[in-house]
């Protein structure tokens, strides 16, 4: 590190990991959630952008964002095709036929590359929908960290029955 950059730093000249005084190092949760927010910038869904990061032992195993399957037209290239379904409590759910959710894409990337994700955690910019939660249960995710809530009332019973922890981690978006 040059002397100009080292001004205001309390590190020794041999410390390669020095950062300016007052700048704090991100904790693991903030780090992984910030990565999820960066990944969501690749999303192609016109209705919302979501990013997901699957992590075990503080190592990123896989990432995903919401969009069309590889090689197929994205909603930002064609019309978004919405279908409606009714939840048992009467609320109407709208989803796009073209879009795969970020969580499913992260799981698919892990499978494609032979990466085991059992007993891993996932960081998602929004809490999972009920369909993604069912898949996260089946692949053995232990904890779901999310930033913004999305219809949590629809997944509370499945969370209780499955034992998966749902933890909100809010970070300022990039």
Catalytic, 103? Answer yes
**Residue of 4, 103, 153, 157 marked catalytic:** 103
Give the bridge partners for 54, in sequence order: 62, 122
3-state class percentages of the chain: helix first, strand second, coil last, to nearest 5: 30, 25, 50
- Give the Å distances, CA to CA, from 136 to 34, 41, 112, 141, 174: 21, 22, 17, 6, 26
Instruction: Burial-class residue 108 by CB neighbours within 10 Å (0-12, 13-18, 19+).
Output: middle
Any idea which residues carry the catalytic annotation? 103
């Amino acid at each position: 590190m040059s002397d100009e950059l080292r001004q205001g730093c309390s590190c020794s000249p041999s410390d390669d990991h020095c950062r300016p005084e007052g700048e704090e190092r991100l904790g693991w949760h903030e780090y992984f959630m910030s990565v999820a927010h960066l990944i969501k910038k690749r999303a192609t869904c016109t209705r919302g952008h979501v990013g997901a990061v699957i992590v075990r032992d503080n190592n990123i195993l896989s990432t995903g964002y919401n969009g069309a399957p590889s090689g197929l037209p994205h909603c930002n290239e064609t019309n978004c095709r919405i279908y409606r379904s009714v939840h048992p409590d009467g609320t109407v759910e709208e989803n796009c036929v073209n879009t795969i959710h970020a969580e499913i894409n992260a799981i698919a990337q892990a499978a494609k590359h032979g990466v085991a994700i059992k007993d891993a955690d996932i960081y998602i910019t929004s809490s999972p929908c009920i369909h993604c939660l069912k898949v996260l249960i089946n692949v053995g995710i232990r904890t779901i960290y999310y930033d913004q809530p999305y219809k949590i009332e629809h997944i509370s019973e499945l969370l209780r029955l499955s034992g998966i922890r749902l933890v909100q981690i809010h970070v300022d978006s990039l």
